[in-house]
Structure 1
Amino acid sequence: MLEHILPFIEGRLKLKEITSRSNALGYERLKLKLKQFIMGWVNYFRLADMNKLLISTDKWLRRRLRMYIWKRWKRIRTRYTMLKRLGLNRSNAEKYANTRKGYWHIAKSQILSCTITDNRLRQAGYTFFADYYKTVKV
């Protein structure tokens, strides 16, 4: 049983390494590394029926990306400016820019889920497992 789960665990560990907060790749190199990993991983396992697994992995990956982006917006002023740019009103942008909660906690918050949406991540050029799986499914 463990043999079937092991590749998925190794895949998550590799994703965790790629999207690490201390990773200084920058957005473009991060997108490229994620795309290469996702394409290779999905092509390797494309014969398996794994849509539910990919959807849950995509949720986790999007949260990791929001955490990565929030970490890159280090200063309060930058966070405020970016939240305003993404459509948040002034008072909420001030409140959430000044938060002291951890990166992982904020990545799951409603504010980042509403401002850094799934569609915005796709438009920015990020590739997700389920999207790519739909294109290569036999």
Structure 2
Amino acid sequence: MRLAQLYMSEGYNHVVDLDLSQFFDTVDHDILMGLVDKDMEDKDIRRLIFVFLKAGVLYRDKLEETELGVSQGNPLSPLLANVYLTPFDKEMEKRGLRFVRYADDCQLFTKSDYAAARVMKNATKYLENKLKLKVNVEKTEAREAEGSCFLGFTFMTLGSKENGRGVCRPRGKKIESLKEKLKVITKRNRGVSIHQVIMEINETMLGWLAYYARGNILTWLMKELLPWLRRRIRQYLWKTWKTAKSRKRHLRKAGVPGRQIRTVTGWSSRSYWKMSLVLGRLITNERLTEYFGLRDFEGILRKWHKKRMERDYELDFNDYLCRQYEEEQETRLLMDVYSCVNW
């Protein structure tokens, strides 16, 4: 994701979104073992990989031999996928192309739609002829980088397309999926304790933020998701407490002053959703965190996002130094050749 954003910031605003059809099921064993034998010196490991590939598949109580493909669901599969696609990576680097790849998901960045169409044609030809893979023509496309998706992120440009900064945020489907999970957790007739609800919310949100913290989502989190989530929690509390007596007792335990409690406990005729808005004045965001244990997701996101940006800056600077060194070496080599010719 760091490289994809960097390429967009450098003006590579067109992308080839490659889609390999049934990649893991069409890996050629001969090609894969040739690559393994080339780079792996340990004969025992080579033999183990070969046995793994030829182990077969149990289907309806019958063991079927496998001539193609790598079985999914084990730690070795993604490693072998990277080994198999390494020649493709080297070929793209040899041609000076900007690209990102994770397993069989790949995007190639160009500066024009014409270049993108040409790169798509050449990349497809290489994958099908050299690696015997099938490119899904219907899903593979050359398009503008803005709005394209990769590994659950959607790319955007802040500023002009030519000089803007490439950023990413979670895909709309991923955001909707998160909200659906939170809706299920905070469904007011679940019948579980508020501590169980808060624990599940914390686990879900922390896992989601750990992956998407790189994205440009702080404003959305502060203004849309968290206010909606807190209101659903307050609605759940109001429904769980049921009677006016129970509500007074729980509000008092949470540290709400008695004068404020008396203003709301009699409003039982209002709907739970409307009362959750009023309840926001009593059960504040701070009380949700301190008394009920809801994590400070805004602070966590700021911290994690900052760490990722600092790490990206270090990696970008290291890449810059490497490029500078390579350019200096090329310049010196050309000067040496020129000196030899003149001599």
Interval containing the TM-score (normalised by the shorter chain): 0.7 to 0.9
Whole-Å Cα distance in 1 between the matches of residues 248 and 219 of structure 2?
A: 36
Whole-Å Cα distance in 1 between the matches of residues 261 and 204 of structure 2?
A: 34
Instruction: Indicate how the Cα distance of structure 1 residues 7 and 128 shifts in structure 2: closer, same or farther if over 3 A, else same.
Output: farther
Cα offsets for 1:66-96 (capped at 9, x unmatched)? 111111110111123334551131xx63452
Normalising by structure 2, what TM-score?
0.37
| Greater radius of gyration (CA) | 2
The answer (yes or no) to whether the contact 1:63–1:107 under 8 Å persists in 2 is yes
The answer (yes or no) to whether the contact 1:67–1:104 under 8 Å persists in 2 is yes
Specify every segment of 5 or more residues in structure 2 that has no aligned partner in the other structure, as ranges: 1-146, 150-170, 309-343
Whose RCO is larger (CA < 8 A, sep 6+)?
1
Instruction: Kindly indicate whether residue 239 of structure 2 is the aligned counterpart of residue 71 of structure 1.
Output: yes
Identity across the alignment (%): 24
Instruction: Indicate how the Cα distance of structure 1 residues 84 and 30 shifts in structure 2: closer, same or farther if over 3 A, else same.
Output: closer
Shift of 1:120: 0.6
* 1:72-87 pair list within 5 angstroms: 72-84=240-252, 86-87=256-257
Instruction: Kindly indicate whether residue 301 of structure 2 is the aligned counterpart of residue 98 of structure 1.
Output: no
Whole-Å Cα distance in 2 between the matches of residues 78 and 66 of structure 1?
A: 15
Shift of 1:7: 0.7
Whole-Å Cα distance in 2 between the matches of residues 7 and 70 of structure 1?
A: 29
Cα offsets for 1:43-74 (capped at 9, x unmatched)? 11111111011112011111111111111110
**Alignment match, 2:59:** none
* 1:122-133 pair list within 5 angstroms: 122-124=289-291, 125-133=293-301
**Alignment match, 2:116:** none
Aligned residues: 134
Shift of 1:14: 0.7
Whole-Å Cα distance in 1 between the matches of residues 188 and 220 of structure 2?
A: 24
Instruction: Kindly indicate whether residue 193 of structure 2 is the aligned counterpart of residue 26 of structure 1.
Output: yes
Specify every segment of 5 or more residues in structure 1 that has no aligned partner in the other structure, as ranges: none
Cα offsets for 1:20-51 (capped at 9, x unmatched)? 10112212221221111011110111111110
Instruction: Indicate how the Cα distance of structure 1 residues 24 and 132 shifts in structure 2: closer, same or farther if over 3 A, else same.
Output: farther
Normalising by structure 1, what TM-score?
0.86
Residue 59 of structure 1 aligns to a residue whose secondary structure is helix
Q: Which amino acid aligns with 2:184?
A: E
The answer (yes or no) to whether the contact 1:38–1:127 under 8 Å persists in 2 is no
Higher helix share: 1
Shift of 1:106: 0.4
Instruction: Kindly indicate whether residue 205 of structure 2 is the aligned counterpart of residue 38 of structure 1.
Output: yes
Residue 114 of structure 1 aligns to a residue whose secondary structure is coil
- Given candidates 216, 222, 225, the residue that maps to 1:49 is 216
- Given candidates 167, 177, 180, the residue that maps to 1:13 is 180
